[in-house]
Structures are given as structure tokens and as C-alpha cells.
Structure 1
Amino acid sequence: MSTITTQDGTQIYYKDWGAGQPVVFSHGWPLSSDSWEAQMLFLASHGYRCIAHDRRGHGRSSQPWHGNEMDTFADDLAELIETLALKDIVLIGFSMGGGEVARYIGRHGTKRLDRAALISAVPPLMLKTAANPGGLPMEKFDEIRQGAIADRSQLYQDIASGPFFGANRPGAKVSQGMIDSFWLQGMQAGHKNTFDCIKAFSETDFTEDLKKFDVPTLIIHGDDDQIVPIGAAALNAAKLVKNATLKIYPGAPHGLANTHKDQLNADLLEFIRF
């Protein structure tokens, strides 16, 4: 397997497909780089080098007890980018991975980047606060934590067969394979790692990170996202990122990298090329 070892000894797995300008992907919770397969196959087939890592604690990477927060995740990403000597990068983050991308830019800047994309991403802040009234109440995240402790496997089944892909909407067509893939990726991840990440993706405020974006940025979000509501996420992020292009997918759920993969692939290719 292709891995790097970070400064604290954590092994980070990554896949590296194709050749050309590098496109680096950051996945969501509780998934792995496998969740980007459709985009990686498509873009690698169109002349790009597609790289995706398993975040620490996820997929085939180590499961350290500590470091399951956004600063460390961003630093791991920076180590991967520097170890592979990547430059002129298109950096793409989905859901929690969008937070990782934002924090990477906040901590490490854009000197190695050509452009960035945030897909169904959590920034600027998921949690409802006085300053963020459109966010979700803490009770929602406490329910996820309780579900993770009680029966993590069933929690992932319920998320995948319900709101993540919009399977709970009338007329939805979500395959059993799609649900099983989500569950499998989740169960590959560490229990402690994924538990800690609930706090990381819900309570981290990326407002100042978004203000540091100075490369062309594409923001894509479904207006029926039941996991990361568009009002507190993409609509606010688009106001904070300079020269952002916002694309809203009508009726799309959170997991649009699967449910709307052809549309997303085409939009990413157009964005990267031009």
C-alpha cells in the first residue's frame, strides 16, 4: 500500500491514480478515499493525477488515540502534499473534508494550490450558536454520539439508508450497494476516531479560514441536504470566499458525489479546465 508516516508516527494511506495536474480529494465522515472513486476514475481518465488519502483513523490509515481534530487533519494533508511534492493542485473536499480543506488553507495557505472546491461541505459552522442561528442544535450531534456508543454499525446503516443519500424521500432510488459501501467504509474507521470527529465536524468554526481563500473556488451543495443544511453551509461560505462560484443542485441530498455523480463529474471537469 502507498503510505506516508506523519511526524507523530501516524501512517496515512493514499491512492494515486493517473498523471497530469494533481487533483487532491478529502473525504467525509465516517468514510474513506473510496468514497471518491467515481470522481477519481472520471478525472484520471481525462488526464489528471487524482490523489485521495484516508484521514487518520479512517480506512486503511492508522487509528491513533489523539489528533482527531481539524488542525491535525489539515497538517496531515499538508505532510502528504509536501511529501509528494505536489504543486498547482486542485484541492477538493466533501462534507467534513471540506472543513479539512478550509483549515488546510487557513494554516498552510494556497502557495501549492491552483483552485479549490467544497462539495456538500460543513464550513463555515454546522453548530447553531447565537452568531450562527441557521445551524443545527447541539442535541442533533448528541444524538449521533449516543447512536455511535449504542450501536455504531446500526447508526451507519440508518444514516446511509435514510438522509445521507436521500433514501427517505418519496421516489428516491438508492441502491443497496450504495448503502453497503457507506456502512463498510464507516466500519473500517476507528471507533474513537469517528466519535471524536463528531465534535470536530460540528463545532469547528471555519469562518476565518474561508476568508483566507484567494484561489478560484467552486462551492456545490444540494438544496435537500438533510445532513449539512445548505443555509448554514454553502450559502454562508459563498459570502465569505472571495470570487466563489456557487452551484446549487435542486433536490440533491448530502451524498451527491454518488447520487449526482455524472453532474458533479462534469462540473468539476469544467471548473478544473477553465
Structure 2
Amino acid sequence: MNTYIEVEPGIELYVEDTGSGEPIVFIPGFTFTTEVFSEQVKHFSKTRRTIVIDPRSHGRSTMTVHGNDYVTHGTDLGKVLKQLKVENATLVGWSFGCLTVWEYIRQFGTAGIKSLAFIDMPPKSLSVQQDREWVEGPLDDMAAAYTNYLRNPKGQRDFISAYAAGVMVQRELKDDELNWIVDQSLKTPYYIAANLFSSGLFSDYRVEAAESSEAVSTLYVVAEHWAEAAVSTVSKLAPKASVEILGGHLMFWEHSGKFNKLVDSFLEGRG
């Protein structure tokens, strides 16, 4: 079932809701859409109610200049889950979609959550102790990405193209694959993407990451390129969480079979 859910007057989120059984909910990352989770939908909808969401100003959801921050995205997620009558769910965030999940927890707690999976996102994006913590990247590099790239459509294309080829996957992308990834991002206009980027970089959800991992079963799936820093941070912040290492930032797309298998093992209590 494909549907639209109004989260406030004039703003609708596009949602795909397929399968039946215990619910699993996927939230895409910065400027990306439900389409990135196509292999997860095929797999998990065979045994579970599988829900994927386009956040506001992403994909087929309403483009708006209002609420392009992860506090609002967390509120939106709560409204979607309530309207769909989703209970006892596994929430799966990818990249900045993890911020949406942590913000949901900040606002609503973990009472209605069965388990959590966070795909390749540190709970705090930036730090002056960047050499000793798992963060998105050096402060100067992140500032340059915002200042030099997310100022016009060409800059957004160049930024996503470079990130896709250098960080998202480990093999060389075919032209049509790279074009598809870039087109996903460009559904969000550059001026909204800039808002989301800055909101994400200035987020700090270490408290929610720590507390939620104590309350419910939690899985982190992290990319190989920063696995050492990620494992160190998670082990200190959320020692009860499971950590798996796989591929690049888009590992659930490039290595969908391996990713789905390790999530299955986690959900079945073997993780």
C-alpha cells in the first residue's frame, strides 16, 4: 500500500506499507528516498510489516521551507507511526535518518519500540576532538561542504557525486547507478538540503543513543572505512549494543544480501 500521511496542514509524507507481521520501519538519510531500501522491502515484507518513509522535503513527500530539521522529522515520525497504528516496531535509520530515530526517542521514549538499528551514523556529528571520536568528519571539511557545495544545484550534484563514488560504495559505480543516486538526492532542492545538512551536523544524540540501547535491543551497522572509531565509540557509549561492520555507507544497497541476513540474525536474537 502506498499512501500519503498529513503531518501538518499542507504537508504530507509519502509512505509505503507492505507485508504483515511485526513491523519494521526504514527511514532514509540526507536527501534520499524510500527507493534506496527496495531490496530491504522485497526481503523483509515476506515475513514482516515493512514500512518505508520519505521524510518531509524528500522524494515524493511535500517540499516545504518549514521544518527541515531533525527535531521536526522526529515529530513527523511520531505522527506517521500513530496514524498507521504501528506498535512494537523495529526502527531502522540510515545516515541522517538515525537522527530522526534518536529525536523520536527524545520526544516519545522507547515504550512503543521493540528494537533499533542504526546504519552508519555517529550520535554526534562534529567534535573538536575529531581525532579521538567517531564523527562525520573534520570540522573544516564539513564547513567547506556546506559553504562551497550546497549553494546551488550544480554544487549539490558535485557533492553527492563525489560522496557516492568515494564513500557510499566500494566498487566503481556504473554511470546509470551514479545518475540514479544523484537523482535521488536532487529531488530535494539545494536550499533545503543545506538546511538539513547544517541541522544534522549540529545534532548531538549521545544521551538518546546511550539510554535507548539500555532499554531495547540495538544494532549498529557501520562502514569499514571508519569501523575502528565507530566500534570504540559505540563500546563506550552503548556497550549493550551489537555492532556489525560491512561495506561502505550504502552497504545495504551494495551488499543487500549480507545486510539483510545480519539484520535477520539480530531480529531473531542471534546478533
2: distance between equivalents of 1:83 and 1:132? 43
Asked if residue 200 in structure 1 is aligned to residue 195 in structure 2, the reply is no
Map of 1:15 onto structure 2: 16
Higher relative contact order (CA 8 A, sep 6+): 1
Supply the RMSD in Å over aligned alpha carbons. 2.0
2:150 partner SS: helix
Q: 1:140: Cα distance to partner?
A: 1.5
Deviations 1:80-102 (A, max 9, x none): 00010111101101111112111
Does structure 2 retain, via aligned residues, the 8 Å contact 1:6–1:79?
Answer: yes
Rounded to whole Å, the distance in 2 between the matches of 1:266 and 1:175 is: 26
| Number of the residue aligned with 2:165 | 161
Partners of 1:11 and 1:132 lie apart in 2 by 41
SS of the counterpart of 2:45?
Answer: helix
- Aligned in 2, Cα 1:38/1:187: closer, same or farther, shift over 3 Å? same
Say whether the 8 Å CA contact 1:220–1:234 is kept in structure 2. no
Q: Secondary structure at the match of 2:261?
A: helix
How far 1:103 sits from its partner (Å)? Answer: 1.6
Identity of aligned residues (%): 22
Structure 1 counterpart of 2:255, one-letter code: H
One-letter code aligned to 2:27: S
Question: Is 1:237 the equivalent of 2:234?
Answer: yes
Match 1:264 to one of 252, 259, 267? 259
TM-score (norm 2): 0.89
What count of residue pairs does the alignment treat as equivalent?
A: 261
TM-score (norm 1): 0.88
How many Å apart are 1:232 and its aligned residue? 5.2
Which residues of 2 match residues 3-82 of structure 1 at below 5 A? 3-7=4-8, 9-45=10-46, 47-82=47-82
Gaps in structure 1 of 5+ consecutive residues = 167-171
Residue type at the aligned position of 1:165: V
Cα distance between partner residues in 2 of 1:143 and 1:85: 42
- Unpaired runs of 5+ in structure 2? none
| Structure 1 equivalent of residue 111 of structure 2 | 111
8 Å CA contact retained: 1:219, 1:238: no
Q: Distance in 2 between matches of 1:195 and 1:233?
A: 26
